Structure 1
Amino acid sequence: MLNDLKAQPKDKILMLMEMFKEDPREVKVDLGVGVYKTPEGVTPIMRAIKTAEKQLWEVETTKSYTGLAGDPGFTGGMRDLVLGDAVPADRVAAAATPGGTGAVRQAFDLARMANPDVTVWVSQPTWPNHTSILKHMGVPMREYRYFDDATCAVDFDGMMSDLQDVAKGDVVLLHGCCHNPTGANLTLPEFQRVAELLNDKGALPMVDIAYQGFGDGLDADAAGVRHIVSNCPEALVAASCSKNFGIYRERAGVLMAVQEDASKTPVAQGTLNHINRQNFSFPPDHGARLVSMILADDALRADWMAELEDMRTGMLTLREQLAEELRRLTGSDRFGFIAQHRGMFSRLGATTAQVDEMREKHGIYMVGDSRINVAGLNKDTVPLLARAMVDVGV
């Protein structure tokens, strides 16, 4: 039977990583993989995480299972971090998951249980794993316009036009901040208009927020999701700790289901527990425990927030440097959008052929749609990228 298995398509980003490793050139730049890096090219362990790990080593007495929904200190802490006081806590069911990806998968499972005929609407473009998971699950999917390749900004009119076709009971997947792969975000007034449309249609908003704190700050980055949960009767929110806590391999995420009425929360909570049990039983705890320790301790939280702010402003500085270097080389401000985008990613507007040429001629590695990880740059490699872009005619 196993002989009949068919080879699965390879992940393009993982393939790009392998190509980069095998490239013998001394001067090469990896802008493909979506992890934060220091100017030295290291993905660091944050100071607060190290301190919390030392404390945990001293006091932890067991490695037994947590509850099916994970540690309440983690789910409660993440609820407060992401949602703030936008919705009463008793209307929120929450469960820890293996990373933000696990939260997304569990959300799709929950939506399908609530409505077997659900269609999930995703932005064009979106994070490729959104569509990959939906296809793997066999969940119907439709796309709505989001990014204007000509302006490198949100095509909000196109988005709202496409969402007119959303049916009652459908799920509309939104990016909370730092849109992956484009870096172009909805404004708060645009989130407000989307919420109004979804309420009119009877659709369920689902917000994937994987980069809180990487854009305009912790609270500013959560403004959109907070508006959604405070103005829509129900919502799903998938949050990740991989980037803003730097614990990628620890797989710490959370799925929150906001109910219209607190009396319905126990049923939603029981369903989240059930889905966890069916898919992986108990969620991983180490990373989640560290996050809950940091969020509950004033000193650790302050240190974490300070380091996160340094990471955020460092990426903004790189964006501004790249936009300015391209302005200097081209005599044009047409790449000013790079400084306006937020988060780790931007789409540069290069063709696939130009992306290939930059890799072959200049050792600049990026995804085929010209998505770059801004955090993969430093002040010395920004000019290399700018010159490569100009050389290939982007």
Structure 2
Amino acid sequence: MMLNTLTPQPEDKILALMALYRDDPRDTKIDLGVGVYKDATGHTPIMRAIKAAEKQLWEAETTKSYTALSGDPAFGAAMKTMVLADSVDHARVGAIATPGGTGAIRQAFELMKLANRHGTVWTSNPTWPNHLSILKFMGLANKEYAYFDAATCTVDFDAMMASLKDVKAGDMVLLHGCCHNPTGANLTLDQYGLVADLILEKGAIALVDIAYQGFGDGLEEDAAATRLLATKLPEMLIAASCSKNFGIYRERTGCLMAMSETADNTPVTQGTLNFLNRQNYSFPPDHGARLVTMILGDATLKADWMAELEEVRLGMLGLRTQLADELRQQTNSDRFDFVAQHRGMFSRIGASPEEVLKIREEFGIYMVGDSRLNIAGLNAQTVPLLAHAVAKICR
């Protein structure tokens, strides 16, 4: 008997938190745990440009046949332009459509396993928990590099560089392209440059996870670090997600890009990417990718998408500023001013797991045990409630 030998798998902490929130009967409860963008009403809307593109697609689409193992090549081309612009010759970059950014990460690790199964994947401490879960499941070696100073809630760059001195040739260094998840604390562009120099010196390869382009400082600004790395490194992998900036979470739309040293290497790289898609899920999903391609290729749709994306970004920045101001007022200190400096949907506010539990039990405010909270889960009315709870519990 095979199924009788199975043992329970570790429960995903965020999914478990979602279940606790659903079962909480309090009308005043606030969900800051799940990593999904929400507007001021708590709804995840469909973006205007997505709606318009879907209408056009419904009227024009004539087949649901497969595209290609890599997905529609036009999607890969559009993503190269959005993420890399003209920082590198696109002929050097292979690309495949994937089921979301998670699929892109998984395929990047699969590529690592093919190229150097004995290499180590270096991840920031902390990083998105699913990075670690996938690496463990795949049996790839993983080491953490220092990143976040829990006392100041900022990047400890000196400690990070000291950690990365142990990187070996053939290792992979996973970097967050912008809006670090879960901390919200980002490297400066100069610091990215120094990390690139170290990766080059060590003979390692960078994997950039860019899941929130447009959520931090702007669509172009958030891609600046990835583009800088592309100009300095001979090879690089980029896992990009369209879930957040296009709001198409359930369409599972991602892209893995692999930049080779020269265009002569691209056919083998592209063929290998195609092979990995074939082994894992054959042809990737197309609906979301096609909508993204349509929007990025149409001036009117793109302009409307960029305008709405900017509204989303500025809204989150406004909530950050409001929260930092409220916390300063209610704690009579500047210890939480970092919230306004962080970028993206998340911040770690430095509460202990015990304090996070008390905030949940006493105030019905749900955040991840490491004190990661989703800024987009707030609105102007709930910010003071969170600030009061934090001020009371986190002394």
TM range, smaller chain: over 0.9
Answer yes or no: is 1:219 the counterpart of 2:223. Answer: no
Q: Shift in Å at residue 391 of structure 1? A: 1.1
- 2-structure distance, mates of 1:114, 1:138: 15
- Identical amino acids, percent of aligned pairs: 66
Q: Shift in Å at residue 348 of structure 1? A: 0.5
Q: Shift in Å at residue 115 of structure 1? A: 1.1
Give the structure 1 partner of residue 305 of structure 2: 304
Paired residue type of 2:346 = F
SS in 1 for 2:257: strand
- 2-structure distance, mates of 1:337, 1:349: 11
What are the ranges of 5 or more consecutive residues in structure 2 without an aligned counterpart? none
- Whether the 8 Å CA contact 2:117–2:140 is kept in 1: the answer is no
Give the structure 2 partner of residue 191 of structure 1: 192
Give the structure 1 partner of residue 358 of structure 2: 357
Paired residue type of 1:91 = R
- 2-structure distance, mates of 1:337, 1:56: 44
Paired residue type of 1:349 = G
Give the structure 1 partner of residue 281 of structure 2: 280
- Once the two structures are superposed, residues 267-286 of structure 1 have per-residue CA deviations (whole angstroms, 9 ceiling, x without a partner) of 00000000000000000000
Give the structure 1 partner of residue 133 of structure 2: 132
Answer yes or no: is 1:319 the counterpart of 2:332. Answer: no
Give the structure 2 partner of residue 371 of structure 1: 372
SS in 1 for 2:324: helix
- 2-structure distance, mates of 1:380, 1:165: 47
Answer yes or no: is 1:81 the counterpart of 2:86. Answer: no
Q: Shift in Å at residue 180 of structure 1? A: 0.1
Answer yes or no: is 1:259 the counterpart of 2:260. Answer: yes
Answer yes or no: is 1:62 the counterpart of 2:85. Answer: no
- Once the two structures are superposed, residues 225-274 of structure 1 have per-residue CA deviations (whole angstroms, 9 ceiling, x without a partner) of 10111110000000000000000000000000000011000000000000
Q: What is the TM-score normalised by the length of structure 1?
A: 1.00
- Once the two structures are superposed, residues 339-382 of structure 1 have per-residue CA deviations (whole angstroms, 9 ceiling, x without a partner) of 00000000000000000000000000000000000000000000
Paired residue type of 2:337 = G
Q: Shift in Å at residue 112 of structure 1? A: 1.4
Q: Shift in Å at residue 116 of structure 1? A: 2.0
Q: Shift in Å at residue 111 of structure 1? A: 1.2
Q: Shift in Å at residue 330 of structure 1? A: 1.4
Q: Shift in Å at residue 204 of structure 1? A: 0.3
Q: Shift in Å at residue 210 of structure 1? A: 0.0
Paired residue type of 2:364 = G
Paired residue type of 1:118 = G
- 2-structure distance, mates of 1:32, 1:235: 32
* Over 3 Å off, 4+ runs: none
- 2-structure distance, mates of 1:393, 1:174: 31
Give the structure 2 partner of residue 27 of structure 1: 28
Give the structure 2 partner of residue 172 of structure 1: 173
* 1:153-164 mapped onto 2 (5 Å cutoff): 153-164=154-165
SS in 2 for 1:328: helix
- 1-structure distance, mates of 2:144, 2:261: 27
Give the structure 2 partner of residue 72 of structure 1: 73
- 2-structure distance, mates of 1:36, 1:106: 25
- 2-structure distance, mates of 1:393, 1:200: 43
- Once the two structures are superposed, residues 89-140 of structure 1 have per-residue CA deviations (whole angstroms, 9 ceiling, x without a partner) of 1000000000000000000000111112111000000000000000000000
- Whether the 8 Å CA contact 2:150–2:350 is kept in 1: the answer is yes
SS in 1 for 2:165: helix
Give the structure 2 partner of residue 112 of structure 1: 113
Q: Shift in Å at residue 393 of structure 1? A: 2.3
- 1-structure distance, mates of 2:19, 2:217: 33
Q: Shift in Å at residue 331 of structure 1? A: 1.4
Give the structure 1 partner of residue 385 of structure 2: 384
Answer yes or no: is 1:53 the counterpart of 2:80. Answer: no
Give the structure 2 partner of residue 235 of structure 1: 236
Q: RMSD of the alignment, in Å?
A: 0.5
Give the structure 2 partner of residue 346 of structure 1: 347
Give the structure 1 partner of residue 249 of structure 2: 248
* 1:196-211 mapped onto 2 (5 Å cutoff): 196-211=197-212
- 2-structure distance, mates of 1:343, 1:116: 33
- 2-structure distance, mates of 1:278, 1:208: 22
- 2-structure distance, mates of 1:320, 1:178: 16
SS in 2 for 1:19: helix
- 2-structure distance, mates of 1:261, 1:371: 41
- 1-structure distance, mates of 2:170, 2:292: 34
- Whether the 8 Å CA contact 2:121–2:140 is kept in 1: the answer is yes
Q: Shift in Å at residue 141 of structure 1? A: 0.3
SS in 1 for 2:220: helix
- 2-structure distance, mates of 1:186, 1:328: 28
Q: Shift in Å at residue 290 of structure 1? A: 0.2
SS in 1 for 2:144: strand
- 1-structure distance, mates of 2:19, 2:331: 33
- 2-structure distance, mates of 1:362, 1:170: 45
Give the structure 1 partner of residue 100 of structure 2: 99
Paired residue type of 1:248 = Y
Answer yes or no: is 1:5 the counterpart of 2:6. Answer: yes
Size of the alignment, in residue pairs?
394
